[in-house]
Amino acid sequence: MPKIDVYGIDGKKVKEIELNESIFGIEPNEAVVHSVLVNYLANQRQGTQSTKTRSEVSGGGKKPWRQKETGRARQGSIRASQWVKGGIALGPKPRSYKYTVNRKEKQLAIKSALSSKVLEKELVVVDSLEMKEIKTKEMAKILNNLKVEGKTLMLLPEKNENVQKSARNIEGVKTTLVNTINIYDLLKYKNLVITLDTVKKLEEVYA
């Protein structure tokens, strides 16, 4: 089972714990991670782009000139796509890009991402992240104590307004909950900061 150090918010080591191997110690499956990531991005697309066809643009249905003997190309309507202000041929219409992937695939992708964080030493475990008040400066100090640099995702076991609001104005830092975690955030943010309670919650959900 993988072992990892646990730190206090002052940056000092408190103890060492063993992580659940089925969550933090598996061999990352890159193919499944890619598949779930593509699914997540597709599901975020709004699909609201739209163009007008020749039946929706303004203009009469009358033939602009007679068929023959004018010296010009034959035309049936000024709504046709080759005319200025004509309709768009084969243009996009509102549609849904959503599709589903197997729940076990999603879980495997999350486990693969978490295991990668352990392998690459990008996982930081804190004994607790309790804050008495909303203070961005205090949160920045905590991250500095933990020697966390670059984009950082803070994974909380449940909603904590003081922590979430203290972190939201720090550039490159995002907070999320165990029940709303997604593969995109795990891959986007280099560092992952979790608490002991988060570890227990992850084991409850994914073990």
Q: Is the same domain home to 112 and 31?
A: yes
Give me 59's structure tokens. Answer: 């203009």
Q: What is the pLDDT of residues 181-204, one digit of tens each?
A: 999 999 999 999 999 999 999 999
Helical (H) or strand (E) element with 16:
strand 13-18
Instruction: Give the residue numbers spanning the domain of 53.
Output: 47-96
CATH number assigned to the domain comprising residue 151 = 3.40.1370.10
Number of domains in the chain: 2
CA 203, 204, 206, 207 dihedral sign is positive
Which of 64, 96, 128 is the last residue before a domain boundary? 96
Q: Is the same domain home to 157 and 112?
A: yes
Which of 33, 62, 96 is the last residue before a domain boundary? 96
- Determine the Cα–Cα distance for residues 89 and 82; give it in Å rounded to an integer: 9
Q: Is the same domain home to 111 and 147?
A: yes
Give me 28's structure tokens. Answer: 């990352």
Q: Is the same domain home to 54 and 41?
A: no
Q: What is the pTM of this model?
A: 0.84
Helical (H) or strand (E) element with 15:
strand 13-18
Q: Is the same domain home to 10 and 105?
A: yes
Q: Is the same domain home to 37 and 113?
A: yes
Q: Is the same domain home to 106 and 196?
A: yes
Q: What is the pLDDT of residues 98-147, one digit of tens each?
A: 999 999 999 999 999 999 999 999 999 999 998 889 999 999 999 999 99
Q: Is the same domain home to 141 and 80?
A: no
Q: What pLDDT sits at residue 130? A: 85
DSSP conformation letters of 145-202:
HTT--SSEEEEESS--HHHHHHHTTSTTEEEEEGGG--HHHHHH-SEEEEEHHHHHHH
Q: Is the same domain home to 185 and 132?
A: yes
37 Cβ contact list (under 8 Å, min separation 6): 109, 183, 184, 187
Q: What pLDDT sits at residue 60? A: 76
Q: Is the same domain home to 106 and 38?
A: yes
Q: Is the same domain home to 121 and 155?
A: yes
Q: Is the same domain home to 123 and 183?
A: yes
